[in-house]
Amino acid sequence: MGPGWRAASVALVGGSVAIFAALRRAALALPQPAAVRSRPGRAWRWWNLLVSFAHSVLAGLWALFSLWHSPELLSNIEDGYSVSGHLLVCFSSGYFIHDSLDIIFSHQSRSSWEYLVHHAMAISAFVSLIITGRFMVAAVLLLLVEVYLTWYFVRYVEIQGQGAFLAANLLLLDAMILMYFSRLLRSDFCPSLHKGSAGRDVDGEKFLID
């Protein structure tokens, strides 16, 4: 991949950051649920989750389209390449960068450090894909399901060099998924565990505990 295409990729990532910044501004104008209006500290979480939801829907549909349009990519997960997949990686990289900046500049780093760790791993992995042009299909699959992809790496990919780096990222991302899932279970099925946090500052609460 030539330097011209890499420079274009940087521009695409920057454009994606701008797109999600615009989406966030649009989310600010949307009416808020009563539960959000009654507790101002939840407003940022509401806007942030709306932008996150938009990325999830767009990236998921985009990934499905890429694989449907070029099914032969699945037979070469390491060196398979498509322009659509490359654009998707740039698009998602921009989202992760935007969301990291949003967390930091909104002073939510302490209560949302897990998301910063997740985003840092995703950004580092995606940047390596953009630079080398390899494992692009893996990134498309990653945006669909991370655990399936981890199994594939462990079983079929030679764990050295970039393959080892991406496998380590996947394992850490799997751990983050389990952490988020456990929080959802505690929040939905064991609310009594959080009664003691009722008097705590709302801005210090976690996303998935409320």
The per-residue pLDDT for 185 is: 54
As a whole number, mean pLDDT of residues 29-52 equals 78
Whether 210 maps to a domain, the answer reads no
The per-residue pLDDT for 54 is: 87
The per-residue pLDDT for 206 is: 45
Tell me the average pLDDT of the chain.
Answer: 76
**How far is the C-alpha of 103 from the C-alpha of 97, rounded, in Å?**
10
Whether 37 maps to a domain, the answer reads no
Confidence of residue 19 (pLDDT cuts 50, 70, 90): very high
The per-residue pLDDT for 22 is: 95
Whether 209 maps to a domain, the answer reads no
Structure tokens of 6? 């890499």
As a whole number, mean pLDDT of residues 104-118 equals 86
Which residues, 6 or more positions from 73, have their beta carbon under 8 angstroms from its beta carbon? 66, 67, 80, 81, 82, 85, 137, 140
Tell me which residue range forms the domain holding 75.
3-28+42-191+200-204
Whether 124 maps to a domain, the answer reads yes
Whether 165 maps to a domain, the answer reads yes
Between 51 and 195, where is the model more confident? 51
Between 139 and 1, where is the model more confident? 139
Q: How many domains does the chain have?
A: 1
Structure tokens of 192? 């009594």
Between 169 and 153, where is the model more confident? 169
The per-residue pLDDT for 188 is: 47
Whether 57 maps to a domain, the answer reads yes
Whether 182 maps to a domain, the answer reads yes
30-50 as b/e, with b when 16 or more CB fall inside 10 Å?
eeeeeebeeeeebebbbbbee
Confidence of residue 93 (pLDDT cuts 50, 70, 90): very high
Between 201 and 175, where is the model more confident? 175
Neighbours of 179 (CB within 10 A): 13
Structure tokens of 145? 């399901």
Whether 33 maps to a domain, the answer reads no
